[in-house]
Amino acid sequence: MPINYYIFLSIALFCIGVAGVLTRRNAIIIFMCIELMLNAVNLLLVAFSKMHQHALAVTNPNAGIDGQLFVFFIMVVAAAEVSVGLAIIVMMYRNTHSIDVNFLNRLKH
């Protein structure tokens, strides 16, 4: 597959995530849209890791493996981020009985 199909697919998924963050007010849905954006980036990293493999495989059989390890580390960090973020959202729900992000503007004053 030409690489630009993967680029356009990832851009489309990322922009759907951006539009979701901007249009929803439910904090957990905003969180899920951020996960969607992370996955679009992961897909593009894996596609790029397979791009120059044919030419570079003669000298270095592991060419492009760094991209896949980056994806692995992104997944690790995303798992930690989700656990902390959901704990914060649960605490917010316990205090305000709502998960509307507009409630959080009371942090201003």
Q: Does 104 bind other proteins (CB under 8 A)?
A: no
Binding mask 73-102 for other proteins (x = CB under 8 A): x-xxxxxxxxxx-xxxxxx-x----xxx-x
Window 22-61: residues binding other proteins (CB under 8 A): 22-26, 28-29, 31-33, 35-36, 39, 42-43, 46-51, 53-54, 57, 61
In the complex with other proteins, which residue's Cβ is closer, 55 or 109?
55
In the complex with other proteins, which residue's Cβ is closer, 79 or 108?
79
- Gap between the Cα atoms of 35 and 19, Å rounded: 13
- Among candidate residues 22, 63, 64, 16, the one with its CA nearest the CA of residue 36: 16
DSSP state of 63: T
Contact call for residues 52 and 63 (beta carbons, < 8 A): yes
